[in-house]
Amino acid sequence: MARLMGKTCVVTGAAAGIGRETALAFLREGASVQALDHDARGLAQLQEQHPQLQVKALDVTDATAVTAFHAGLERLDVQVNCAGMVATGNLSACSMDDWRRSLDINMTSVYLMMGAALDLMLPLKSGSIVNIASVISSIGAAPDRFAYGATKAAVIGMTKSVARDYAHANIRCNAICPSAVETPSMTARIEAMADSEAARRAFNARQPLGRMGRPEEIAELAVYLASDLSGFMTGSQLVIDGGAKL
């Protein structure tokens, strides 16, 4: 299949996990893919394995860097904002550092990236923006995820606002809302726990399907939202959570 043939796509958080699998899925679907991440080493390894990818180490919370990157693009058809972080702790345990970093990485980066994308998409009167949110957001809560839930709820809000304001220009904006996904960062968090086997069982049990999601499953949904097959969909929050929030 070539559902993204001829499209220029940008994916943030592309060195690992959902971002990596999304960039590779886009590549398989015929897109020209720009893979962005702050992890230069991870990007270099990714490009070594997949030389067709174009990679760039970029701090997506840096307004000047984001603007300069987009200024170097001739066009942009699809943007996937996947860069994010998970701060643990309830409100009482949420430090100012965790709060500010969560705002910067989970919210400000999306604000900056979408603003720069619109400058390229508006002249084309076409485009698809896909934001990776979470079911831990305005959809539902989880213990000890105060800053994460607040910022992912904001991502859904920004998604709906952009979808409403730019529908007239045929620019679509949707959010994917996963539950726990078996990414390298998730694996690292589990293995750092005192009883990693018990922790893994608990994470799996949160989904009625009995397991965490796989990054490639989220990537497949991103392909659909990036493609013209979803041309009548905008402002949606698509839950992909194994039934966790039923």
pLDDT at 161: 98
pLDDT at 35: 98
pLDDT at 1: 72
pLDDT at 68: 98
Amino acid of residue 52? Q
φ, ψ of residue 198 in degrees (nearest 5): -65, -40
Cα gap 204→183, rounded to integer Å: 13
Amino acid of residue 128? S
pLDDT at 207: 95
Could you tell me if 127 and 75 are in contact, meaning their C-beta atoms sit under 8 angstroms apart? no
Task: Provide the β-strand partners of residue 128.
Answer: 78, 172
Can you name the CATH fold of 8-178+215-238? Rossmann fold (3.40.50)
Please provide the DSSP assignment of 128-155 as one string. EEEEE--SBTTTB--TTBHHHHHHHHHH
Q: Of the candidates 31, 32, 54, which has an alpha carbon nearest to the alpha carbon of residue 43?
A: 54
pLDDT at 95: 97
pLDDT at 189: 86
- What's this model's pTM, rounded to 2 decimal places? 0.96
Q: Of the candidates 22, 79, 69, which has an alpha carbon nearest to the alpha carbon of residue 222?
A: 22
Cα gap 175→183, rounded to integer Å: 19
- pLDDT tens for the chain, 246 residues: list them: 799 999 999 999 999 999 999 999 999 999 999 999 999 999 999 999 999 999 999 999 999 999 999 999 999 999 999 999 999 999 999 999 999 999 999 999 999 999 999 999 999 999 999 999 999 999 999 999 999 999 999 999 999 999 999 999 999 999 999 999 999 889 988 998 889 999 899 999 999 999 999 999 999 999 999 999 999 999 999 999 999 999
Q: What angle do CA 123, 129, 134 make, to 5 degrees?
A: 160
Is there a catalytic annotation at residue 224?
Answer: no
Beta-carbon neighbour count of residue 190 at 10 Å?
19
> 3-state DSSP call for residue 100?
helix
Q: What are the residue ranges spanned by the domains of the chain?
A: 8-178+215-238, 182-212
